[in-house]
Amino acid sequence: MTTIANNLQQVLAAIARACAAAGRDPAGVRLLAVSKTFGADAVLQAVAAGQRDFGENYVQEGVDKIAAVRAALPGVVLQWHCIGPLQSNKTRPVAEHFDWVHTVDRLKIAERLSAQRPANLPSLQVCIQVNIDGGPTKSGVAPADALALARDVAKLPRLALRGLMAIPDHAPQFEAQLAVHTRARRLFDEIAALREPGLEAFDTLSLGMTADLEAAIRAGGTMVRVGTGIFGGRSYPAA
């Protein structure tokens, strides 16, 4: 077994343990393998081990990797998720090549993604990024503004609003991680409970990375984004 296949198995086992501890069905937690800074060869190894969802932070790197993986595996259906901060001049390649965007934090970005989504592709699946712990320099809409943005995004024709995403500051302790993740869960529940038109598919809470996936699952996260735990340490910080 390759290292990546072995790591994947261990991450899936950690997810299963966290689900058991939380009294949840592991089928309710989707693993997003964050392949940023790693090459297409690493993605191919993960695909061979059964992984189908991949996350990328940098638009051009992601677009190139998607093309390389598609050429190597024609006919294999993968889901590519954009999880990096998005500038409005970079929305077009994202709308044309990705399946999901987790980092919608203002209406202008959402409008551009909807307008640029090619007609022959399914709707772009999007989550609204929430600045759940209120860091002044962090991306994400303020929690108090999340519902208004969700309502506006829900009206856009070529987007499917799927839920919320958050990247809390690193906290070493499980209890501290759980407290902030639980705030994201409450906000998610408040919006989901409205059952308004456009929110029918609001079922995704993208929460947790390698270091805090247990707390994210305990809080009710439905998608965990794991890079280091699957692919190993990243050797360069892409700008």
Question: Residue 210, interface with ligand PLP (CB under 6 A)?
Answer: yes
Residues whose CB is less than 8 angstroms from the CB of residue 221 and which lie 6 or more positions away in sequence, other chains included? 29, 181, 184, 185, 205, 206, 207, 208, 213
Crossing angle between the packed helical segments 146-154 and 174-192, to the nearest 10 degrees = 50
Whether the CB-CB separation of 36 and 56 falls below 8 Å is answered with yes
Question: Residue 34, interface with ligand PLP (CB under 6 A)?
Answer: yes
Task: Say how far apart CA 146 and CA 46 lie, in whole Å.
Answer: 34
Rounding to the nearest 10 degrees, give the CA dihedral for residues 173, 54, 3, 9. 70
Binding mask 54-93 for ligand PLP (x = CB under 6 A): ---x-------------------------x----------
Shortest Å, Cβ 229 to ligand PLP: 6
Comparing CB distances to ligand PLP, the nearer of 73 and 171 is 171
Comparing CB distances to ligand PLP, the nearer of 61 and 196 is 61
Question: Residue 36, interface with ligand PLP (CB under 6 A)?
Answer: yes
Comparing CB distances to ligand PLP, the nearer of 199 and 213 is 213
Q: Tell which positions 211-230 bind ligand PLP, by CB under 6 A.
A: 211, 225-229
Nearest residue (beta carbon) to ligand PLP? 227
Measured in whole angstroms, how far is the alpha carbon of residue 70 from the centre of its chain?
20
Shortest Å, Cβ 210 to ligand PLP: 3
At CA 56, angle to CA 35 and CA 232, rounded to 5? Answer: 25
Binding mask 136-175 for ligand PLP (x = CB under 6 A): -------------------------------x--------
Whether the CB-CB separation of 81 and 101 falls below 8 Å is answered with yes
Site for ligand PLP, rule CB under 6 A: 34, 36, 57, 83, 167, 209-211, 225-229
